[in-house]
Amino acid sequence: MLSRPQVKARWTVGALSYVEDEPDDVTPPRRRPERPALRGVTLQPSRLRVGVDVPWVTSWTSEPVTGVGPCLTTPGALAVRQSERPGFGRPVYSENHHYRQRLSVLRMLCPMCGRATATGDRWTLTARRRTAGALRAQGLGGALPTTLADSRVLIDAGAIAPLHKACAERSAGQCPHLSADEDLDLRPFAARWLVWPLWVEVDPPPSAPAQDLPPVAAFLQLCGVTDAHDRR
């Protein structure tokens, strides 16, 4: 495991400002957060239930991005940080929460309910079977071990961790985005997988040499590795 970066510089990343040595936002998935205040306005708890009506991994309007900094989900790299106030304000269904998304992939937490998934109960709805060669041909194979043959069949899950089967079935029926997807395909995830970060570009301050800039991860991506080969 890599050590945390020693970063002393302070800079802005678009609207993001770097945060140094703040404690990680380690919030247990089921904990009900304190009622937050955002720009002086106290946000009311939503009637929608996190993990039931709204996926646990979904962002809420009460959860602004706060900057970039070290994070337990990305050892050796910086990560985009975001407030943790699920269940307050309104859900932003089109946006995953940065930290919860990374945690879901890293710890195999179901993105719907936030609970751990066990071997044998990890399912995907939107993952695509692709060969390692196809990923490499698209320039996405940088994270694949060179020992992995081009013919090896992978399950490209993108940034969506596997769900419990019951949660996947419920999501497919409830979620407008998913139910409109004609390619929805409930299938078991692989027993092995690869994880790599999705990086965001960082603009350093004029005073910071570009070569000193550590990478900044936004989300984690994962790809299941099967034993099958497709040699067509």
Calpha distance 70→5 (Å, rounded) = 8
98 or 164: CB nearest Zn ion: 164
How far apart CA 109 and CA 161 sit, in angstroms, is: 7
| Nearest approach, Cβ of residue 2 and Zn ion (Å) | 30
- Closer to Zn ion by CB, 79 or 167: give it: 167
Residues 163-202 that bind Zn ion (CB under 5 A): 164, 167
By CB under 5 A, residue 125 contacts Zn ion:
no
Nearer to Zn ion, 43 or 167 (CB): 167
Please report, as residue ranges, which positions from 100 to 119 form the binding site for Zn ion (by CB under 5 A): 110, 112-113
- The structure tokens 């179901």 sit at 110
Q: Please, which residues bridge with residue 60 across strands? A: 91
- Which residue, 74 or 171, has its beta carbon nearer to Zn ion? 171
CA dist., res. 162 & res. 224, Å (int): 10
Rounded to 5°, the CA angle 219-224-226 comes to 170
What distance in Å separates the CA atoms of residue 200 and residue 80, rounded to the nearest whole number? 9
Residue with nearest beta carbon to Zn ion: 110
CB of 57 to Zn ion, least distance (A): 11
Q: What angle do CA 10, 13, 14 make, to 5 degrees?
A: 135
Number of residues located near Zn ion, criterion CB under 5 A = 5
Read off the amino acid at residue 60.
W
Q: Which is nearer to Zn ion, 107 or 229 (CB)?
A: 107
CB of 115 to Zn ion, least distance (A): 5
Q: What is the CA radius of gyration of the chain?
A: 19
Q: How far is the CB of 27 from Zn ion (least distance, A)?
A: 17
Q: Please report how close the Cβ of residue 203 comes to Zn ion at its closest, in angstroms.
A: 38
Q: To the nearest whole angstrom, how small is the minimum distance from the Cβ of residue 124 to Zn ion?
A: 13
Burial of 64 per CB tally in 10 Å (0-12, 13-18, 19+): middle
Residues within the interface to Zn ion (CB under 5 A): 110, 112-113, 164, 167
